[in-house]
Amino acid sequence: MTNPTLEHWNTLDASAATDAILPCNGSHAWAEGMAALRPFDTAFDLTCTADRIWLTLSETDWQQAFDSHPRIGEHKAKAATAQSLSWSSTEQSAAQLTADTEAQLAAANRAYEQQFGRIFIVCASGKTAEEILAILNARLANDPATELREAAEQQRQITQIRLRKWLAAT
- 77 forms beta bridges with 70
Is the omega angle on the peptide bond into residue 39 within 30 degrees of 0, that is, cis? yes
- Indicate if 69 belongs to the active site: yes
Catalytic: which of 8, 28, 69, 75?
69
For residue 4, the tally of other CB atoms under 10 A from its CB is 11
* Phi, psi (deg, nearest 5) at residue 126: 80, 0
- Contact in structure between 18 and 32 (CB atoms under 8 Å): yes
- Contact in structure between 35 and 17 (CB atoms under 8 Å): yes
Angle, CA 121 vertex, CA 117 and CA 89 arms, to 5°: 125
Going by the DSSP 8-state scheme, the letter that residue 24 receives in this structure is G
- Contact in structure between 62 and 9 (CB atoms under 8 Å): no
Active site residues: 69
